[in-house]
A and B are shown apart, each in its own frame.
Chain A
Amino acid sequence: QLQLQESGPGLVKTSETLSLACSVSGGSISSSGYYWDWIRQPPGKGLEWIGSIYHSGGTYYNPSLKSRVTISVDRSKTQFSLKLSSVTAADTAVYYCARHQAFCTKTSCYPTYYYGMDVWGQGTTVIVSS
């Protein structure tokens, strides 16, 4: 059974870079046909998609965060990571990592949520404060 676990500092100073990791266990992060996702939820608010990375390294980012976000995969550590730069109080949230299966035709694979995000981490709270 695939499991995901977020880790990282719970407190980040304003204007600094938020760095989180998501450890993958019970399965391979290099499995073909899967995207690895970051989603966040500000206190008392709804879910916001941050970005996704394909097993081969291709990335998709939320346009509103794109200039500040980097998602990468570290296969040696079986984890993927999120970096969000120049953070402000508006970045305070619970950050979740998740996985979704790509929609593949005979020739290509696409990141659309055809099969949904079927595995989620428990989430980690990040507070941004000066």
Chain B
Amino acid sequence: QSVLTQPPSASGTPGQRVAISCSGSRSNIGSNAVNWYQQLPGTSPKLLIYTNNQRPSGVPDRFSGSKSGTSASLAISGLQSEDEADYYCAAWDDSLNGGVFGGGTKLTVL
């Protein structure tokens, strides 16, 4: 059971906009920045969003992040086939004094 809660799956057709939610608590998302990672099949995770809504250099602006209270969301607009991957949210947890991940969301592009 992951500390952060994500839906196990999401899907969309090319060009659509999809959103993936991440729910936590006051000690993690409520107190600290949220990151999002993309893991393509057979590869290492890649930082997609940091500090709730910032994109590292090279990440397309189709990807955006937001946070409100103890929840966060990753939105992907103009969905493309190469976006098919697993997506994970992460944050530091002040109560556990450690990092916590969501269980991951498998995105399927139909």
Question: Which residues does A use to contact B, with CB under 8 Å?
Answer: 37, 39, 46-49, 51-52, 60-63, 96, 111-118, 120-123
CB–CB B2/A111 < 8 A: no
Q: Tell me the minimal C-beta distance from B91 to chain A in angstroms.
A: 6
The interface residues of chain A lying within 8 Å CB-to-CB of B92 are: 111-113
Question: Which residues does B use to contact A, with CB under 8 Å?
Answer: 2, 32-33, 35, 37, 44-47, 49-51, 56, 86, 88, 90-92, 96-104
Majority-rule SS of B interface residues: strand
Residue of A nearest to B86 (CB): A46
CA gap between A114 and B91 in the complex, in Å: 8
CB–CB A96/B44 < 8 A: yes
CB–CB B33/A49 < 8 A: no
CB–CB B104/A47 < 8 A: yes
Q: List 23 A-B contacts (CB under 8 A).
A: A37-B99, A39-B45, A47-B88, A49-B90, A49-B99, A52-B98, A61-B98, A62-B99, A111-B92, A113-B33, A113-B90, A113-B92, A113-B99, A114-B32, A114-B33, A115-B50, A115-B51, A116-B35, A116-B37, A116-B50, A116-B56, A117-B47, A122-B44
